[in-house]
Amino acid sequence: MDMRRLGRTDLSVSRICLGTMTWGQQNTEAEGLAQMDLAFSRGVNFLDTAELYSIPPKAETQGSTERIVGNWMKARGNRDRVIVASKVVGRTQMEWFRGGRPSKLVRADIFDAIDKSLQRLQTDYIDLYQLHFPERKVMWGSNPTRYGKWPADRYDDETPIEETLGALDELVKAGKIRHFGVSNESSWGVMRFVAEADKGIGPRVASIQNAYNLVNRTFEVNLAEVCEREDVALLAYSPLGQGYLTGKYANGARPEGARSTLFNRGQRYETPNAAEAIADYCALAQDFGMEPALFAAAFVLNQDFVASSIIGATTMAHLETALAAADVAWTKEMQDAVDAVHQRVGNPCP
């Protein structure tokens, strides 16, 4: 498994990062432990979790994936060989994170979150601590394809970025986190974090975790240049578009046990023209003799600006396919074919 440097940090992370958000609801703890064993036997050293997980967010399962990761590291005695990434929620009305009140990216809430995450993970530090989503009013994912998708107003009590950075700086100095990243962020947001750090306010942003896949290449529009010039590493989530790019939801199908069947949370990949675009990419994969899931995963892994692709699996067979993408010889012919489809269908699922 190839390793890549995470931004300007001293962290070397595997090209594939194992996501954990299904563990605790869609997957059992035993299944999560087995997934980590397999992934790490194949050279993965990078895990992504969050205080919000498992998905969908519920009070009774909140924090379950961090607990499973913590139990695995304790049982295997391998904390020093694992790069652990976790996240603090942004502004949310879900009250169970902070013990009965809404949460924001203020010092008290960030400190409350980190201490609870460290306890669940059974560790005294997190390698990469990420802001799960901005506190500002933005479209989820923060990369809309039309300006009209941006909210016109702002919160009156929006927490300044420098205040959030100040809290993160305290955590770095206390040794509770090594580096920090953002998630579901925009070009403006990344540059504001960079600018404040360049002024000496808090640590420098190391990474951004945004959706990136065949039907959502909006990262390439502005964020790719920002992140390349500022050394901010992309951790690409949803390389398979929540499973839609496997083709399993074609023609309205709802396979038993699949995420959209269980939770009805696939609206991001059910937008106008999405089904047609997904069908085109699935057909393209077959033209190259690959199953659609392998083709979609390999596409993400082979874009130069992707530091690591965050894979998620609900079965060991799914995980085997995702890991196999690291061995695909991605060709110029494949890239040109994908780009030709993208030129025609654009980004239907931002």
CA distances 271 to 227, 277, 278, 292, 293, Å, are: 28, 10, 11, 20, 20
HSE-CB of 318 using CA atoms within 13 angstroms: 21
Residue of 240, 238, 239, 205 whose CA lies nearest to 223: 205
38, 316 contact by CB (below 8 A): yes
Residue 212 bears catalytic tag = no
Dist. CA 305–CA 235, nearest whole Å: 9
Q: How far is CA 202 from the centre of its chain?
A: 23
3-state SS, one letter per residue, for the chain: CCEEECCCCCCEEECEEEECCCECCCECHHHHHHHHHHHHHCCCCEEECCCCCCCCCCCCCCCHHHHHHHHHHHHHCCHHHCEEEEEECCCECCCCCCCCCCECCCHHHHHHHHHHHHHHHCCCCEEEEEECCCCCCCCCCCCCCCHHHCCCCCCCCCCCHHHHHHHHHHHHHCCCEEEEEEECCCHHHHHHHHHHHHCCCCCCEEEEEEECECCECHHHCCHHHHHHHHCCEEEEECCCCCCHHHCCCHHHCCCCCCHHHHHCCCHHHCCCCHHHHHHHHHHHHHHCCCCHHHHHHHHHHCCCCEEEEEECCCCHHHHHHHHHHHHCCCCHHHHHHHHHHHHHHCCCCC
- Residues designated catalytic: 53
